[in-house]
Structure 1
Amino acid sequence: MVYILPQLPYDYAALEPYIDRLTMKIHHDRHHQAYVDKLNQALELYPVAKEWSLSQLLGSLAELPDQVAMNIRNNGGGHANHSIFWESLTRDAKELPSPPLLAVITMAFGSFEGFKRQFATTAQQVFGSGWAWLVVDEDGQLAITATANQDSPLMLDQVPLLGLDVWEHAYYLQYQNRRPEYINAFWQIVNWTKVTECWQKNGG
């Protein structure tokens, strides 16, 4: 399997004023492309793994030679995480998830606003580079988690539903060191339709 960079489901400028055009272009065309290229290079060193899906690769790192595993962890994780991130965003965002998902979020976190606060706090507290996630955990329950660098929830047998990239390259041109502003802006462009679809496909 040769991995390719997925096209954005919208124009580079579609998410303005919340994420600017230049950030989207550099983030997608350069950063994500680099992860794809390096993932393919890593698989050249271990051809048997070319037959595995990305989820299988990230869930089976212990079965790979150390150097190959490290490259796939970093670059396969980067590819998986960014592919989810682009789909998590839309210019036509709805304020709330679908009623069934909203009910489950409310049950898990006390309220939708409580969920947003906990998610934002998790994103803000990521030290350095990483991600905040809404996932279906190993027990089939909704949970908010964080991963460092390009580690993926797929490595932990979790299903990522919504991801927020808090690497500086995701926001620095527009927000500089003001990560909380970027996190707050994120809620204006969340693709709850896509999040709901993913949740439904995974037992919701």
Structure 2
Amino acid sequence: MTYELPPLPYDYKALEPYISSGTLEFHHDKHHAAYVTNYNKLVQDAGLAEHPIEEVIKVSFKDPSKAGIFNNGAQAWNHTFYWSSMKPGGGGTPTGPLADKINADFGSFDKFKEEFKAAGATQFGSGWAWLVLDNGTLKVTKTLNAENPIAQGQTPLLTMDVWEHAYYLDYQNKRPDYIATFLDNLINWEFATANFTAA
């Protein structure tokens, strides 16, 4: 069972001017593709190729001897999730049950935005900011390098990549500008709502 590199759910130019086609081509076709290629080779060698990637992520996270499998598998999965966490004409505010849950668990949508911005801005080095469901409660978390909520037993609803290759061509060292743009213009709240409903 080879894990396939999924195509982007939109055209390379679809997120402009917020994320350039050059960034998406480089990020998806080089970085994401390399994680998928490396993951498939490593799981084949380890006899894990027949297992779903989510299962391999959970198993390999707990086994230091499988760090390469975890890093490449989790990054392959994280990127697929990240592409779906954005959409052309995204941003704004969620509606329905997810909006109600955000208000209940964070106090307000503005408080959620504040926490999400802080998670992305204070993740030292490479990593991710997430909105997750953890034992019935919405939380904002951040993870280092390839780590993700699946490995922590949480349900991810959306993510923002804060590795430099996600934003450096467009924003240089201004990560806070990228984060604000992600929230205001890119977040796919329908995707997050679907994940919340399915949890």
Bin the TM-score by the shorter chain. over 0.9
Distance 1:114 1:172, change over 3 A: same
> What pairs with 1:155-174 in structure 2 (closer than 5 Å)?
155-174=151-170
Partner amino acid for 2:124?
A: F
Q: Deviations over 1:4-35 (max 9, x none)?
A: 11011111110011111100110000000000
Which of 135, 139, 142 aligns to 1:143? It is 139
> Deviation at 1:62?
5.9
1:70 corresponds to 2:47: no
SS in structure 2 at match of 1:45: helix
Query: Which residue of 2 is the match for residue 116 of structure 1?
Result: 113
Query: Which residue of 2 is the match for residue 24 of structure 1?
Result: 24
Partner amino acid for 1:125?
A: T
Task: Report the Cα distance in structure 1 between the residues aligned to 2:172 and 2:91, rounded to whole angstroms.
Answer: 27
Q: Deviations over 1:41-76 (max 9, x none)?
A: 1112211x2221111111112675x43x11121101
Task: Report the Cα distance in structure 2 between the residues aligned to 1:143 and 1:62, rounded to whole angstroms.
Answer: 21
Query: Which residue of 2 is the match for residue 46 of structure 1?
Result: 46
TM-score (norm 1): 0.93
1:186 corresponds to 2:182: yes
> What pairs with 1:115-134 in structure 2 (closer than 5 Å)?
115-134=112-131
Partner amino acid for 1:173?
A: L
Query: Which residue of 1 is the match for residue 4 of structure 2?
Result: 4
On the 8 A contact 2:61/2:67 being kept in 1, the answer is: no
Distance 1:45 1:12, change over 3 A: same
Distance 1:132 1:63, change over 3 A: closer
Unaligned runs of 5+ in 1: none
On the 8 A contact 2:36/2:73 being kept in 1, the answer is: yes
Task: Report the Cα distance in structure 2 between the residues aligned to 1:134 and 1:15, rounded to whole angstroms.
Answer: 21
SS in structure 1 at match of 2:131: strand
% of aligned pairs identical? 43
Unaligned runs of 5+ in 2: none
Task: Report the Cα distance in structure 1 between the residues aligned to 2:133 and 2:62, rounded to whole angstroms.
Answer: 24
**Large movers: runs of 4+ above 6 Å:** none
Q: Deviations over 1:132-172 (max 9, x none)?
A: 000111x1211111110011111111111110000000000
Task: Report the Cα distance in structure 2 between the residues aligned to 1:63 and 1:96, rounded to whole angstroms.
Answer: 37
Task: Report the Cα distance in structure 2 between the residues aligned to 1:72 and 1:172, rounded to whole angstroms.
Answer: 27
Partner amino acid for 1:132?
A: A
Query: Which residue of 2 is the match for residue 58 of structure 1?
Result: 57
